[in-house]
Structure 1
């Protein structure tokens, strides 16, 4: 039923009529309880105004500061078959110690004398290069000799041309003299004939002049033939000059062609020599890859391959090794909302799994078992777990981290921010607000200087 009537409502003012209720106000422990409640409220009120250090909590694990100090796997650069193990799990190895020996499985490298044979081929090709070089030098000398001979022959032919020209001039002069003598002989003969007709010369004188005229005519014809022969000799000398030029040009061209052919063969052989050198070096280096050695000093954690006679491919991980010397660090992950507040160089409190710890995140001075650290790097790309990775190194100004820490063990971190009252932190947390944007002392000093 619903209590809609005033008559059905309880009357609390009537409780005073009971003696038990009246005696409550007179009992002594009631006053003490009131004082305790008032004191508790005062204490709570005072606590609300106590300072509280805002912080960013993170969870991660122990790692190393340098990438080359972290656990790594040793891989095989070539394919092969496992023949012999030189270490076992847990052994300590120095840099360069042999871990494993493998044998060749590829047919291109099965020849045990492959390196020596390749070297012999390389030496033979080098001698071939030297032979081609000698042939090129010989052809160069031959070309020089041909050029010299051509010059001498050319000068000889030019001299012959000059001789022919001078001979033509001499024969032309002789021909002109012969023509003059012929003219004189004809004049004397005509005069003798006229004087004979006039009875002044005997017939014998006319016969003598006729005979002399015939001799001069014969001499004139001979001289003309001699001049024509000299002209023919000049033409022949000029033809010989062109022939010598063409002949020796052909010889030089042929020698140069042979020289270029030898140079081409020399360059091709040099290329083959370089290729063989490359192969020889590769084979020599490959022979050294049969023994897999430790890249640095450390402990063999785990053998990833096992057995004898097992084939492995290139790039296959064989063993995992942990470097002997390393610098501890912690990689922790923070939420995207807190990531902008993390600054490089800021101090962080760290505690490790398995170590006794008492933590008061808001009062770091009251905590026990925590160690100091500084932010050395932060990743600006979100990780697969939806958080940002931050790398923390030990703080040199505080107590050193335990040497017994193992790589990969869990770690908790708290990045210390601004100091605020507890009531403000409760109000911020209830409303889901981020911590105050915190400026480091160095940033504040730079801002004050500006």
Structure 2
């Protein structure tokens, strides 16, 4: 009843006496419902205070831990034409096994005897180097002989110059003696002539003294001429010394010029030999590249350039190979706002596509079908998708990852953070707050030691 009127019929009439009233008033289901609601409220209140592990969920893919274990494409270092295939897709190959054979497409390498002809050129040029070396040795011997001859010739010319100078000195002494004799003869002639004029000497005596004076004058003139000839010989000896030095210098310079020319030609030929040897090595290496081999043990995934007679450029991808030995890992991407919460060695749960799992992200111990992992690398620069790449490796303290997992399959990752009450997590999610910032236990221990 609504009890709108002051005349309350429920107090005057007992509804339990009626048939319909008996059916309604005697049922006590609402009491059980109230008890259920009370129990649910109590359980919900208790659940709100249960611990909840904050986490960061993201999507990732299965990859390998090391770069050399990841799928790769085999390329050719030179352009070529496919001649023969030795494998097919799905085959297992060992390191060094031949995958395909190619042929040259450049006209510079069409000659089948290219290496042989290049080797012949190397031998010829090497012989030229030997010949130039012999010519240089011969010119060195010639220069040595010319210098020895120059030394002897100069010594001879110097001796001749010394003899001429000594002869000049001797002739100058003789000239002084002739000059003295001339003075004496003139004095005697004048004296005898004076005495003859006084009548003390005969004319004959005067004639004798005049004759002796003329002889003395003739000797003086002859000695003076001899002295001038000796001085001329000194000048000639000096000219001979200078000429000899100039002649041999010219001969030696010409021989040295020929030697330097031969050395230059030898060096140039030697450089050509080195260039040909380099070309020979390149040809030899290029011939080995006509067979494309497997860089490591693995399986042929997919042939990217098939057929026979197909031409390709250098660096073009020919076939894909998956290494047979690899360590699995998971690469996942996290938002920049969550990046400070991740650290090296952080525990992460991984759910692989295709493996059934029951996941309670906040209660990892209750989850089923997830596998343990840990953070081994965090990207230092943001990726093109606006997130940071994180690399996860298997956690050796837990169950091994499934062996049937293939590289490239999908995975869902759950990074485990701090434990908080459920009510706090609900409040954080409603307000769109990030997870709590925290430091791992190892970092806290290090900080305490520093203090």
How does the TM-score come out when normalised to structure 2?
A: 0.92
Cα pair 1:83 1:308 within 8 Å, conserved: yes
Number of residue pairs matched by the alignment: 441
Cα pair 1:305 1:318 within 8 Å, conserved: yes
Shift of residue 67, structure 1, vs aligned partner: 0.7
Cα pair 1:99 1:294 within 8 Å, conserved: yes
How does the TM-score come out when normalised to structure 1?
A: 0.92
Shift of residue 251, structure 1, vs aligned partner: 2.0
Moved more, 121-130 or 187-196: 187-196
Match of 2:445 in 1: 445
SS in 2 for 1:126: helix
Match of 1:331 in 2: 331
SS in 1 for 2:413: strand
Shift of residue 197, structure 1, vs aligned partner: 4.9
Distance 1:170-1:336 versus aligned 2 partners, 3 A rule: closer
SS in 2 for 1:184: helix
Distance 1:53-1:198 versus aligned 2 partners, 3 A rule: closer
Shift of residue 199, structure 1, vs aligned partner: 5.2
Q: In 2, distance between residues paired with 1:312 and 1:398?
A: 49
Shift of residue 127, structure 1, vs aligned partner: 2.2
> Is 2:428 aligned against 1:428?
yes
SS in 2 for 1:433: coil
Q: In 1, distance between residues paired with 2:348 and 2:366?
A: 15
Moved more, 85-94 or 333-342: 333-342
Shift of residue 149, structure 1, vs aligned partner: 1.9
Match of 1:363 in 2: 363
> Is 2:98 aligned against 1:93?
no
SS in 2 for 1:212: helix
> Is 2:65 aligned against 1:65?
yes
Match of 2:41 in 1: 41
Shift of residue 387, structure 1, vs aligned partner: 2.5
Give matches, 1:202-217, under 5 Å.
Answer: 202-217=202-217
Q: How big is each residue's C-alpha offset from its partner over 1:141-172, in whole Å with a ceiling of 9 and x where there is no partner? A: 22222222222222222211211111112112
Gaps of 5+ in 1: 1-9
Match of 2:410 in 1: 410
Q: In 1, distance between residues paired with 2:2 and 2:30?
A: 24
Moved more, 156-165 or 136-145: 136-145
Match of 1:251 in 2: 251
Q: Output the aligned Cα RMSD.
A: 2.2
Distance 1:133-1:172 versus aligned 2 partners, 3 A rule: same
Distance 1:13-1:115 versus aligned 2 partners, 3 A rule: farther
> Is 2:114 aligned against 1:110?
no
Cα pair 1:16 1:22 within 8 Å, conserved: no
Q: In 1, distance between residues paired with 2:393 and 2:222?
A: 123
Match of 1:170 in 2: 170
SS in 2 for 1:436: coil
SS in 2 for 1:365: coil
> Is 2:389 aligned against 1:389?
yes
Cα pair 1:62 1:407 within 8 Å, conserved: yes
Moved more, 248-257 or 74-83: 248-257
Shift of residue 50, structure 1, vs aligned partner: 1.1
> Is 2:284 aligned against 1:312?
no
Shift of residue 355, structure 1, vs aligned partner: 1.3
Match of 2:159 in 1: 159
Gaps of 5+ in 2: none
Q: How big is each residue's C-alpha offset from its partner over 1:6-32, in whole Å with a ceiling of 9 and x where there is no partner? A: xxxx95657985946897565222211
Q: In 1, distance between residues paired with 2:229 and 2:256?
A: 40
SS in 2 for 1:429: helix
Moved more, 226-235 or 182-191: 182-191
Shift of residue 220, structure 1, vs aligned partner: 1.9
Shift of residue 94, structure 1, vs aligned partner: 0.3
Shift of residue 218, structure 1, vs aligned partner: 1.9
Shift of residue 431, structure 1, vs aligned partner: 0.8
Q: How big is each residue's C-alpha offset from its partner over 1:27-59, in whole Å with a ceiling of 9 and x where there is no partner? A: 222211211111111111111111111111111
Distance 1:339-1:187 versus aligned 2 partners, 3 A rule: closer
Match of 2:285 in 1: 285
Moved more, 144-153 or 83-92: 144-153
Q: In 1, distance between residues paired with 2:174 and 2:133?
A: 61
Moved more, 323-332 or 387-396: 387-396
Q: In 2, distance between residues paired with 1:363 and 1:142?
A: 100
Shift of residue 344, structure 1, vs aligned partner: 1.2
Moved more, 283-292 or 250-259: 250-259
